[in-house]
Amino acid sequence: MTTPDHHEIIKQICDYMGEDLDGEACKEVQEHLALCPACRVYFDEVKKTVTLVRRVEQPGEKMPDDVKERLFKVLDLDELMNR
């Protein structure tokens, strides 16, 4: 049985992680993730971390009215503000 070159695969997983985590990945990496628990766990954890941060940061805050008012005032657009 040939052992896949772990380091090479890990490097690919790293590259893969620079991409969209749900996007098309190269077949070899997908196969490796299916077979190698260590890499799989690592990958799942990165993915979970990103999902959590995204959930916490999205949808963001409603801009406070006073912030908006000051913005329109600075821009000299006070009378044109949508309230």
What is the binding site for Zn ion (CB under 5 A)? 36, 39
Q: For residues 8 and 69, which CB has a smaller minimum distance to Zn ion in the complex? A: 8
Q: With contact defined as beta carbons under 8 Å apart, do 20 and 47 qualify?
A: no
Q: Determine if 81 is a binding residue for another protein (CB under 8 A).
A: yes
Q: For residues 34 and 53, which CB has a smaller minimum distance to another protein in the complex? A: 53
Q: With contact defined as beta carbons under 8 Å apart, do 26 and 12 qualify?
A: yes
Can you tell me the distance from the alpha carbon of 52 to that of 18, in angstroms, rounded to the nearest whole number? 17
Question: Which residues are CB-neighbours of 12 under 8 A, at least 6 positions away?
Answer: 26, 28, 29, 32
> Which residues lie near another protein (CB under 8 A)?
6-7, 10, 14-15, 17-20, 37-39, 41-42, 44-50, 52-58, 60-63, 67-68, 70-72, 74-75, 77, 80-82
